[in-house]
């Protein structure tokens, strides 16, 4: 094997010509964005847009300071430290074209568990104009059903007890805003980039709630000096595997401990509500809008819901990836019927063409043979995803006396999924915070099928909705007697 180069600032210029390296001097960059949660998704999405803006337009004022807060982030922290914040974005197109681009927009890096006070101080730094977040659904500590902030969540109560060594975003933000107020500094924009409904509004409500309880005198300052734009974020980013690390070495001579693989497609829509002047990310494809709802519903109910469906159905059949499942015509016909007949009527977007072309492109994106998106990634934490991605469609359809037949099948399939065994008798793990309840109720639902949808914290009062229940019971009995594939075939023709 030819020599590969360890990825760091010093070795950048040694990389072969077909690797795109930053065209800018990273030492000249000012960090005005502090990002919490340096996940694969953050790196393929926001860090990429920021890089593009600096690379193409030399906007040196918008660098990123990455911050991780979780024990489980220790590895990415140490990798990025070793690699001077650099990583490879390994883009793979449907037709096999591969590109390696070194992203240079993360120029500083902090780790909360190592030094919480340093993080608080950095967040209070007046040069930081935007604090952005990818902390996943569970980072928001929301109550089930109501979606309100859970002030009694154990992590939150810990932060209330130990305000100077916080663990949650709320604890950190509160301390840093206290400092900003005390020092008479300006506030900043909090930019949530997670797949949750009205992500900015949810973050705002949660923070207000936390602050009213812990530092009530700070609330007015926060209200006057911060803003919380809602955003829609989209780019399929699978878990990096060792084969990707190896191919980068062999094909591009890059020795990167943790590159990010992603599709070519990317979308970012942001509400135009910034405390400081808004970044000119529109120059590199970001869309600013005054009405985020149509974009958000389209993304969550079409893409994320489709993923969840392919994840559950595909796993039951024994498939391992989104790609494999999306090549199976029975599964795709089922999905198409669900999207057309049950999801599309809930999307009140007046731009019908946008929805149709998004749906068409979705199938194309799922059928990218080079994106090895594992179904187990998609199925993780389904108990948090289904209420966000599928239940709004069901509730909307039921409220309008409309069809929920495919949706009922999906929920029945999820009950069966929680048995933890596929149609070839191969077991798989249920990776979910609620796995105990899911597995137990799925088992009980063999005798009493309603048991599963009686989990109130997930389904609320769905088990009392007759139209839904009739289809659900029919689907579950079909699925208990047949493989998922033949159940789908029967469901598709009926
Ligand atoms: C996926 C998302 O986790 C999931 O369930 O649907 O991670 C999805 O890949 C991204 O939202 C794509 O933008």
In ligand 1, which atom is closest to the CA atom of 237? Answer: 9
Is the Cβ–Cβ distance between 252 and 92 less than 8 Å?
A: no
Q: May I ask the CATH class of domain 293-493?
A: mainly alpha
Q: Whose CA is nearest to atom 4 of ligand 1?
A: 378
Q: How far is the CA of 185 from the centre of ligand 1 (A)?
A: 37
Residue among 460, 441, 443 at smallest CA distance from 451: 441
d(CA 484, CA 311): 13
Q: Among 136, 196, 199, 304, which is best to mutate for testing ligand 1, by the most ligand atoms less than 8 A from CB?
A: 304
pLDDT at position 111, please? 97
Range list of H helices, 303-404? 305-317, 322-326, 329-337, 352-366, 375-379, 382-389, 391-399
Q: Which two tokens stand for residue 192?
A: 């949530």
pLDDT at position 344, please? 96
For residue 415, the SS3 value is helix
Q: Whose CA is nearest to atom 13 of ligand 1?
A: 234
pTM assigned to the model = 0.96
User: Which residues on neighbouring strands pair with residue 421, listed in sequence order?
Assistant: 427
Tokens 């996943």 belong to 136
Is any ligand 1 atom within 6 A of the Cβ of residue 204?
no
Tokens 């220790």 belong to 74
Q: How far is the CA of 264 from the centre of ligand 1 (A)?
A: 15
Residue among 3, 35, 175 at smallest CA distance from 105: 35
pLDDT at position 1, please? 58
Q: How far is the CA of 17 from the centre of ligand 1 (A)?
A: 32
Which pairing describes strands 87-92 and 98-103: parallel, antiparallel, or unpaired? antiparallel
User: Which residues on neighbouring strands pair with residue 6, listed in sequence order?
Assistant: 255
pLDDT at position 145, please? 73
pLDDT at position 419, please? 97
Domain with CATH 3.40.50.720 in the chain: 7-289
E strands along 7-133, which residues? Answer: 19-20, 31-36, 63-68, 87-92, 98-103, 106-111, 130-133
Does CATH place domain 7-289 in 1.10.510.10?
A: no
Q: Among 49, 134, 307, which is best to mutate for testing ligand 1, by the most ligand atoms less than 8 A from CB?
A: 307
* pLDDT tens, per residue, the chain with 494 residues: 568 999 999 999 999 999 999 999 999 999 999 999 999 999 999 999 999 999 999 999 999 999 999 999 999 999 999 999 999 999 999 999 999 999 999 999 999 999 999 999 999 999 999 999 999 988 999 887 778 899 999 999 999 999 999 999 999 999 999 999 999 999 999 999 999 999 999 999 999 999 999 999 999 999 999 999 999 999 999 999 999 999 999 999 999 999 999 999 999 999 999 999 899 999 999 999 999 999 999 999 999 999 999 999 999 999 999 999 999 999 999 999 999 999 999 998 778 899 999 999 999 999 999 999 999 999 999 999 999 999 999 999 999 999 999 999 999 999 999 999 999 999 999 999 999 999 999 999 999 999 999 999 999 999 999 999 999 999 999 999 999 999 999 998 77
Apex 348 CA angle, 342 and 351, nearest 5: 110
| Count of beta carbons in the 10 Å neighbourhood of residue 213 | 14
Domain with CATH 1.10.1040.10 in the chain: 293-493
d(CA 410, CA 422): 16
Is the Cβ–Cβ distance between 234 and 303 less than 8 Å?
A: yes
User: What does the pLDDT look like over 261-301, one tens digit per residue?
Assistant: 999 999 999 999 999 989 999 999 999 999 999 999 999 99
């Amino acid at each position: 094997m030819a020599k590969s180069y360890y990825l760091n600032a010093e070795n950048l210029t040694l990389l072969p010509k077909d690797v795109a390296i930053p065209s800018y001097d990273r030492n000249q960059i000012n960090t005005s964005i502090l990002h919490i949660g340096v996940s694969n998704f953050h790196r393929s999405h926001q860090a990429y847009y920021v890089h593009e803006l600096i690379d193409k337009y030399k906007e040196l004022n918008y660098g990123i300071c990455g911050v991780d807060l979780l024990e489980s982030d220790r590895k990415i922290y140490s990798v990025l430290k070793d690699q001077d914040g650099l990583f490879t974005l390994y883009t793979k197109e449907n037709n096999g074209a591969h590109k390696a681009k070194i992203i240079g927009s993360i120029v500083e890096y902090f780790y909360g568990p190592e030094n919480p006070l340093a993080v608080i101080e950095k967040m209070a730094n007046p040069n930081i104009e935007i604090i952005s977040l990818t902390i996943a659904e569970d980072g928001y500590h929301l109550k089930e059903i109501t979606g309100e902030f859970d002030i009694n969540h154990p992590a939150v109560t810990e932060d209330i007890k130990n305000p100077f060594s916080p663990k949650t975003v709320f604890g950190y933000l509160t301390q840093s805003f206290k400092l900003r107020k005390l020092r008479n500094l300006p506030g900043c924009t909090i930019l949530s980039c997670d797949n949750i409904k009205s992500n900015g509004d949810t973050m705002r409500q949660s923070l207000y709630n936390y602050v009213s309880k812990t530092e009530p005198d700070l609330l007015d300052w926060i209200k006057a000096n911060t803003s919380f734009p809602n955003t829609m974020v989209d780019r399929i980013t699978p878990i990096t595997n060792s084969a990707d690390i190896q191919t980068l070495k062999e094909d591009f001579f890059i020795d990167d401990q943790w590159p990010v693989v992603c599709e070519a497609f990317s979308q970012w829509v942001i509400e135009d509500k910034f405390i400081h002047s808004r970044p000119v990310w529109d120059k590199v494809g970001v869309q600013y809008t005054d009405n985020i709802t149509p974009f958000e519903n389209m993304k969550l109910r079409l893409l994320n819901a489709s993923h969840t469906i392919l994840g559950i159905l595909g796993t039951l059949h024994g498939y391992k990836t989104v790609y494999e499942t999306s090549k199976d015509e029975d599964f795709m016909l089922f999905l198409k019927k669900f999207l057309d007949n049950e999801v599309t009527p809930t999307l009140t977007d007046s731009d019908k063409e946008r929805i149709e072309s998004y749906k068409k492109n979705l199938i194309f994106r799922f059928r990218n043979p080079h994106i090895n998106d594992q179904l187990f990634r998609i199925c993780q934490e389904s108990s948090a995803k289904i209420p966000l991605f599928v239940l709004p469609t069901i509730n909307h359809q039921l409220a309008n006396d409309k069809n929920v037949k495919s949706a009922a099948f999906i929920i029945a399939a999820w009950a069966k999924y929680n048995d933890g065994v596929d149609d070839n008798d191969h077991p798989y793990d249920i990776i979910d915070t609620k796995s105990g309840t899911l597995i137990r109720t799925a088992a009980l639902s063999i005798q009493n099928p309603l048991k599963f949808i009686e989990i109130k914290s997930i389904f609320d009062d769905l088990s009392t909705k007759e139209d839904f229940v009739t289809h659900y019971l029919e689907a579950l009995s079909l699925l208990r007697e047949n493989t998922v594939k033949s159940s789908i075939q029967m469901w598709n023709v009926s």
